Amino acid sequence: MKIQNVVAHLDQLAPPSLQESYDNSGLLVGDRNKECTGVIVCLDSTEDVIEEAIAAGCNLVVAHHPIVFSGLKRFTGSDYIERTVIKAIKHDIAIYAIHTNLDNVKHGVNGVWADALGLKNQKILSPKKGLLKKLVVFVPESDKDNVLQAMFEAGAGTIGNYAECSYSGEGNGTFKPLENANPYIGEIGKRKVEEESRVEVLLESFNASKVIAAMKKSHPYEEAAYDLLDLNNVHAEIGAGMIGDLSASVDAIEWMNRLKTIMKCGVVRYTPLHKSKIKKVAICGGSGSFLLNNAIAQGADIFVTGDFKYHQFFDAENKIIIADIGHYESEHLTIDYLVRILKEKFTTFAVLLTKVNTNPINYL
Ligand SMILES: [Zn+2]
């Protein structure tokens, strides 16, 4: 098994194209063609984690936060970022980051957390636009099912909990094969009118080339006619934060105490309790204050995240309870999850959860 096999599996879990524009997820250090000798999973790939990887004989560190975020111009070891990268390169340790792309998929940072909290009716708090496309293909009726099947197998046609969604209508297509053509039907130099189906499927932009390749492979024509159209629809399964319901209304303080245990946090900082009972819960792992208005608009009783600043707490305005549990604490379930899915997939090398507590914040 090569490092690339692990990278490909993680890329499939959270496609890198779903990362935010400011992010730097993906393979940051190392040679993807090297044999993988073991993986260490962490939130932050610090120097201590690289040391741990060296000691454990693991040559791949999978981190949530990219150690190289805004670019490096020199490698003199003057700060922890440069020292980490230098140490990793010297010891042939690869570093892979799976950051906002894992925030943005439904079963990622927030889906894992929502499951741990037992939230029902889980929905993305801020679904993304611009990720859906429509593929329209014109195909002889006799080959319609084949082409549809190929596109479904390549990942097209999924809407929420429904797979194999498509629409088709019948019509007539025309074409005239030119001199060097090798037509499936029709004759060189003569216009052909053929009964064709217009088949439409939805697909995700990051999957477009795969679906088009599958469609072309299964299409009988030498030149398949198709339209790839941008859609403005939101993608309900991709975006930031998550909202869901507790199975019953519960006392807010009691629930926050339970939250403290589940999330292993030293402290919960929260705004005035404008209501004593809560049922609808919004969450965002990491720094989620940018989602406060989404949480209010969708009727959340409480919004749990990290990194709220003093003045931002005032924005609760008795419309919602803001509960800040800390950035690290809100994401620690993520790395347990990554260990679990990597262990399930790869059995020929060790997949370890770091023993280093990389949280730079302590509580007295
Ligand atoms: Zn984070």
Q: Where are the domains of the chain?
A: 3-98+331-353, 105-125+239-325, 131-231
79 CA to centre of ligand 1 in angstroms: 20
pLDDT band at 252 (very low <50, low <70, confident <90, very high): very high
Per-residue pLDDT of 274-316, as tens digits, reads 999 999 999 999 999 999 999 999 999 999 999 999 999 999 9
Cα diameter, the chain: 85
| Span from the CA of 73 to the centroid of ligand 1 (angstroms) | 24
What is the reported pTM?
Answer: 0.88
Q: So what's the pLDDT on residue 90?
A: 98
Q: Mean pLDDT throughout 215-220?
A: 97
pLDDT at 253: 97
User: From the CA of 334, how far away is ligand 1's center (Å)?
Assistant: 10
Superfamily of domain 3-98+331-353: NIF3 (NGG1p interacting factor 3)-like (3.40.1390.30)
Confidence of residue 99 (pLDDT cuts 50, 70, 90): very high
Amino acid occupying residue 331 = E
As a whole number, mean pLDDT of residues 53-70 equals: 97
pLDDT value at residue 266:
86
- Ligand 1 centroid–CA 285 distance in Å is 7
Residue ranges of alpha helices (H) inside 124-190 are 144-153
> Are domains 3-98+331-353 and 105-125+239-325 of this chain identical in fold?
yes
Give CATH for domain 105-125+239-325.
Answer: 3.40.1390.30
**Identity of residue 100:** T
CA of 124 to the centre of ligand 1 (A): 18
Q: What is the pLDDT of residue 161?
A: 87
Q: Residue 153: pLDDT band by 50, 70, 90 thresholds?
A: very high
Indicate if the pLDDT at residue 160 is higher than 90: no
pLDDT at 25: 97
Q: What is the residue-averaged pLDDT of the chain?
A: 96
65 Cα–ligand 1 center, Å: 6
Neighbours of ion ligand 1 (CB under 5 A): 286
Calculate how far, in angstroms, residue 84's C-alpha sits from the geometric centre of ligand 1.
18
Q: How far is the CA of 148 from the centre of ligand 1 (A)?
A: 40
The mean pLDDT of 194-201, rounded to a whole number, is 96
End-to-end CA distance of the chain: 44
Q: Which CATH class is domain 131-231?
A: alpha beta
Angle between helices 144-153 and 208-218 (to 10 degrees): 150
Task: Compute, in angstroms, the gap from residue 109 CA to the centroid of ligand 1.
Answer: 9
